[in-house]
Structure 1
C-alpha cells in the first residue's frame, strides 16, 4: 500500500480540525497557549489536524512562525498532519511563476517539518486555467514528496470555484489524496464537485461549516473544518451518526451544529476566525490574551455574546441531545 493509499485509509470518515493559531492583538504567536491548545485538541476524537489553513491564518504567518506552529502540532498529534500551502500574504501581488514557486517552497517546508500531506490553496493567478492548476499540484507533489489535497475554496477567502472537470483531473493524479470543498453557501457548486469527486475513490472532504450535514448527505466522507477548531465533539457527532446510519441521532446532532455555525460562520465571513477563538476561550482551550485575530474585521461585542449564548444553551440541553457533543 502506497503512502497516499494509507493516508486515505486513515483519514476516511474522520474529522480534521482546521486549527486556529493563538496570538495576541499584534499577531505575535503565543507559544505556551499554542502548546496547551494543541494538547487539548489532540486528546479529542480527531483523525488528524490541518495546520496553516485559513482558520490558522497560515498565509499570514511568518516562515519562522509557520515552522514553530507545525513543530508544536507535530509533537502533540499522533495522527496525520495536513498543511495548507500557498502564497504568503507578505509576498504581495505576484505573477504565476512566483506564486507557484512560493507554494512549492511552503510545501517543502511542510515536508521538512513532518507534515503527512499538503492542501494546496487555489491561486488567483490560475483562475480559469485548468492545465496550470493541474501542473501546480503535480509540481507540489513532485518537489515536496507529499500526497496532495486539492482545495476548492470560496472567493471570499481568496479562492475560486473549481469546475467539475478540474476536480476530476486533480483526483486522477497519482499523488492526490482527495479534494476539500469549501464553497461557503453555494449548494449547487458543492453538489457538482462531490458528484465529480466520488467516482475517484479518493477522499471527498467537506469544509462546509454552514452546510455540514447536507454535504455528508450529498456524498462527502471526511471533514476538514474550521468549526472544529474549538468544538470537536459537536462536529464529530454529526459525522459519526451519519456513518453509523443512525438518522435520528444525525438529525439531532446536525441541528445542534447548525445552531453553532449560524452564530460563527456569518457575514462578515472573515470574522469567523475571531468567533471561533471566542468559542475556544469559552471552552477553556485558549486563554483570553491569546484569542486575537488581527487579520480579520473588527466585530461588535454583541457578536461574542451571541457565540457564548449559543454555547451555553447547547450545554444546558438534555443529555440525550448532547450525546457525543
Structure 2
C-alpha cells in the first residue's frame, strides 16, 4: 500500500485523545473501564483515539495486557483507532504492530525506541521494518524527553519517503523543530502532542491534536479545533487559554495522576481506577486542590 493510500484511507484529523488504561482495585487491567473511557471521548467529539500512549501507561503493561487493550478499544469505538505499539526493540515493536493491525486497529503509533541511544540509520531501519510489516498507516511518535532519542530533521525527511509512514506525532514542545520538520516533510500528517501548543500546532498546519486534557474534557478541545477550522482565531485562542488552565490543574501531584483523578471528580459513569506502580495516585490534599481548581473553572457539576 502506498503512503498516499494510507493517508487517504485514514484521513486522520481533529482531536485524538491518548486514552487511559483503566485498572481495577487489585491493579489488574480493567477492560470494561478502558473501553468505556474510549467511548466517552468519542461521545465528546473525538475523531479518533490513541490507546497505549503515555497516558495509557503502555510501558507498565505486559505484552498480553497491551494486546487486550488494543482489542477492547477497537471493538468499543467506531472512529479510527491508532494503537501505540512502540517498544525498545524492533522485533517487539513489529510484533505489537502486527497484532494491532490483525485485530482491527486503523493505524499504529511507534514511539522512537528508548533507553539505548539511537542514530539516524537505526531509526530509519526501525521504522522501515514496521512499515513493511503491516498494511496500516504508521505514525512516528517523537517525544525525546521520555525516550532520550531525538530525530534529526534529515531523518524525518527520509522517514517521509518510506511507504506506509503516514505522519508524525510531536511531543517535543520544540516549536522550531516542529516548524522545520513540517517544512522538511510536508507530505506527512503532523499531530501536535502538547496541550500548551494546540493553537500553535494548528497554525503550523498540524492536522490533529493529541491532547491529555481531551481525556477529561474532550468537548473543550473539540471546540478549540472547530474554532480554528472555521477561522475564529479569537475563540481558538480563548479556548487555548482555558485548556492551559485545565492543564495546570491536572499537573498537580504525581506524574499522570491528574487525568484519572479529574475523571473521578467529573462523575462519569465508569471507573478508570488509579495508576500502576511505581506511578502514584494523588493524596488527599492534591485531590482536594484539583477539585477546587476545576470548580473555580466551572468544569464540575
Which residues in structure 2 correspond to 1:1-325 (within 5 Å)? 3-8=5-10, 10-12=11-13, 14-24=14-24, 26-87=26-87, 99-124=89-114, 127-155=117-145, 157-183=146-172, 185-197=173-185, 199-200=186-187, 202-265=188-251, 271=255, 273-285=256-268, 287=270, 290-297=273-280, 299-315=282-298
Residues 159 and 113 of structure 1: CA distance in aligned 2, closer, same or farther (over 3 Å): farther
Aligned with 1:17: secondary structure?
coil
Alignment CA distance shift 1:265-1:163 (3 Å): farther
Structure 1 stretch 119-128 or stretch 99-108: which is displaced more?
119-128
Quick one: distance in 1 between partners of 2:147 and 2:44? 30
Deviations 1:73-117 (A, max 9, x none): 112211111011122xxxxxx7xxxx1111111111111221111
How many Å apart are 1:299 and its aligned residue? 4.5
The 2-side partners of 1:219 and 1:145 are apart by 26
- Corresponding residue SS for 1:177: strand
Give the Å deviation of 1:209: 1.9
Residues in 1 aligned to 2:207 and 2:38: alpha-carbon distance in whole angstroms: 25
Q: CA–CA distance in 1 between the matches of 2:24 and 2:207? A: 36
Q: Unpaired runs of 5+ in structure 2? A: none
Q: Give secondary structure in 2 for the equivalent of 1:179.
A: strand
Distance 2:266 2:9 in 1: 30
Root-mean-square deviation (Å): 2.5
Q: Which runs of 5+ in 1 are unaligned?
A: 88-93, 318-325
Query: How many pairs are equivalent?
Result: 298
Matched position secondary structure for 2:195: coil
* Structure 2: distance between partners of 1:104 and 1:130: 19
Residue aligning to 1:321:
none
Q: Give the Cα separation in 2 of the matches to 1:290 and 1:132.
A: 38
Q: Distance in 2 between matches of 1:266 and 1:51?
A: 23
Q: Give the match's secondary structure for 1:49.
A: coil
Partner of 1:91: none
- Compared with structure 1, are the counterparts of its residues 266 and 154 closer, same or farther at alpha carbon in structure 2 (3 Å cutoff)? farther
Distance of 1:306 and 1:219 partners within structure 2: 36
- The normalised TM-score by structure 2 is 0.88
Quote the Cα distance in structure 2 between the aligned partners of 1:305 and 1:19: 24
